[in-house]
Structure 1
Amino acid sequence: MTNDTELKPGTVRTLAVVRTGEPGAFLDAGTGKTTDDILLHRAQQTREVTVGEKLPVYLYLDPKGRLTASMRLPKMREGQVARAAVINTTRDGAFVDIGAERGVFMPFAGMKGRVRRGDKVWIKLYRDKSGRPAVTMEVEDELRRAARPAEDVKLGDRITGSVYNLTDEGAFLFTTDRHIAFLHHSETAERPSLGQEITARVTFVRDDGRINISTRPVKQEAMDIDAEAILAMLRSRDGSMPYSDATPPETVKEKFRISKASFKRALGRLMKAGLVEQREGWTYLKQPDDSEGGDRLGTTGQPDRHGDSI
């Protein structure tokens, strides 16, 4: 931060009211020149002020580039990290609400993916090269330092956190109890977005104090859901699909949004129940009158692979 005597945009300073007028109150800039006095407009006052009173104010530039003041103070200081709302987006970046009179600019270079108005994202407040306040979504180091090890967390506990980073493997969350949580892509039905708040189940507590989480139901319930998804796929394809126990894990993940292990468990359950069967890398719905020799075959004697687009 700048020192306590500098009057720069983005700083909070305690200044004395030296006079009042129609537009509002004027604050002493400390230069001895009335032309340097800083306007505290009536619209930026949270209460009536009097001459001689010393006020903590937030300094910022008005649309004409003049230093002006507001009694609405920001909720975070330079170097701090917080979760804040996006209030507007532009071609060059976005503006984020830190509780001050004006939103603070976040350049594209400080974004991690696309943000929209109303999103609440993790940010850090800093001062850019021109000396103006700005924010960035690069907060991993700060949140790691602020995190607490999950010593009091047990498997199956429900936690709530918000996403601060996305990787090819999954999402990292900072929880309400200040833990770092990892949500693998295979443990959620939908890819989360930055800033999204998620409630999930703890599946593993790591030696380093972090936790792994899942939004999927516990295994038995998940098998029911996964089996229904497989049946829905088969019904949508007239009873056959080119996926089976032999299908590569990446294809299973792409098509069903579950792991290969979950897929095989659900298939096994369906086969045990006599609802499906597998032949030559394909899976088929069994008809009510299917018998041991009653396979559906094409004219060539091979499985009828109609609609075999993947």
Structure 2
Amino acid sequence: MLALGDFNELEVARAVDFGLYLTSDDGDLLIPGKYVPEGTQIGDWLRVFVYRDSEDRLIATTLEPLARVNQFAALSVRDVSSVGAFLEWGLEKDLFLPYSNQWHNLRAGQRVTVYVYLDETTDRIVATAKWDRYLSEEPFAGQVGDAVQLFVASESDMGYSVIVNGTHQGLLYYNEVFRPLRLGDTPTGYVRQIRPDGKLDISLQKLGYDEALDAADLLLETLRKSGGTLPLSDKSEPDDIYRRLGMSKKVFKKALGSLYKRGLVQLLPEQTRLVGEE
């Protein structure tokens, strides 16, 4: 069966003036000439994305959309009409986000996290901003301390809601974030706590001793690249530490202490210096 809203490997059946027709179990469908790879011949197989054009006809393209069916994505609103919003997703026809699938009204240029799905009634590809309804209800299979892949989905007064490993919802508190984040970013995170309601508390730093070791390695590497001296000490402002190292002052002090105990650094009032460096 043809996978609508996804990539398909289809055979070139015949050529017309305006493109090629590809054969599938659901009938032949067009790939317009501007998307046909140079040198394509009858009988070749093409990897194409299949969706519906503005006239609701099945059509193929070699363009890469920003999201496929059953995926999460952070997309920009191109336009808003009386029936909903239209999102830029890398194809000629924008992705439709009905008003019924929105938490609040959107405006052109705004970025929004959505889940892309195939509407069973209309057989059309649509988006919903109520993405949390498509997360797993099963208990999270991992454990505290695990490294996980995050998708930054929304921002609240407490921090960032993140999708963890594509299946579960987590919260990244502001005091765990020491670099700018935007919707759609996919940093690596670490499970700090698994709550009774199944949601996860997430950190961008490794927990405990591993966190200090990683920070110490980064600090040592930065010192070496800087000629052996950094204008940072345990008295430095948190913003200065973050700007240079991307870590919190708390983690920086742990790293500094680790290197000092190993005899690798000299602590000065306003700087840190590698031992043996002038």
Task: Report the TM range for the smaller structure's normalisation.
Answer: 0.5 to 0.7
**Which of 198, 203, 208 is matched with 2:192 structurally?**
203
Listed as ranges, the matches of 1:45-194 within 5 Å are 46-47=26-27, 61=54, 68-71=55-58, 83=72, 95-96=88-89, 102-104=93-95, 109=108, 111-112=110-111, 122=114, 139=129, 142-147=130-135, 148=137, 153-166=142-155, 171-176=160-165, 178-183=167-172, 191=180, 193-194=182-183
Q: Which has the larger radius of gyration?
A: 1
Instruction: Report the TM-score, using the length of structure 2 for normalisation.
Output: 0.53
CA distance in structure 2 between the partners assigned to 1:176 and 1:225 by the alignment? 23
Does the 8 Å contact 2:78/2:108 carry over to 1? no
Unpaired segments ≥5 residues, structure 1 = 1-22, 24-41, 49-57, 62-67, 73-79, 114-120, 126-132, 289-295, 297-310
1:260-283 CA distances to partner (integer Å, 9 max, x unpaired)? 221111111111111212232322
CA RMSD between the two structures: 4.9
**Number of residue pairs matched by the alignment:** 209
Does the 8 Å contact 1:276/1:284 carry over to 2? yes
1:41-83 CA distances to partner (integer Å, 9 max, x unpaired)? x8999417xxxxxxxxx9864xxxxxx34257xxxxxxx9952
1:7-26 CA distances to partner (integer Å, 9 max, x unpaired)? xxxxxxxxxxxxxxxx9xxx
Helix, strand or coil at the partner of 1:204: strand
Does the 8 Å contact 2:77/2:107 carry over to 1? no
How much does 1:155 deviate? 0.9
| Counterpart residue type for residue 57 of structure 2 | S
Q: Which residue of 2 aligns with 1:280?
A: 269
How much does 1:207 deviate? 5.1
1:130-149 CA distances to partner (integer Å, 9 max, x unpaired)? xxx99888x3xx23455548
Does the 8 Å contact 2:188/2:204 carry over to 1? yes
| Counterpart residue type for residue 258 of structure 2 | R
CA distance in structure 1 between the partners assigned to 2:266 and 2:184 by the alignment? 43
How much does 1:173 deviate? 1.7
Q: Which residue of 2 aligns with 1:223?
A: 212
Instruction: Report the TM-score, using the length of structure 1 for normalisation.
Output: 0.48
Does the 8 Å contact 1:275/1:285 carry over to 2? yes
CA distance in structure 2 between the partners assigned to 1:134 and 1:109 by the alignment? 20
CA distance in structure 1 between the partners assigned to 2:158 and 2:242 by the alignment? 12
How much does 1:182 deviate? 2.7
Q: Which residue of 1 aligns with 2:66?
A: none
How much does 1:210 deviate? 2.1
2:242 is equivalent to residue 253 of structure 1:
yes
CA distance in structure 1 between the partners assigned to 2:263 and 2:148 by the alignment? 38
CA distance in structure 1 between the partners assigned to 2:242 and 2:195 by the alignment? 25
Relative to structure 1, the CA distance from residue 247 to residue 152 in structure 2 (aligned partners, 3 Å threshold; closer, same or farther) is same
How much does 1:192 deviate? 5.0
Does the 8 Å contact 1:153/1:205 carry over to 2? no
CA distance in structure 2 between the partners assigned to 1:134 and 1:184 by the alignment? 34
| Counterpart residue type for residue 47 of structure 1 | G
CA distance in structure 1 between the partners assigned to 2:220 and 2:242 by the alignment? 16
Does the 8 Å contact 1:162/1:174 carry over to 2? yes
CA distance in structure 2 between the partners assigned to 1:208 and 1:259 by the alignment? 29
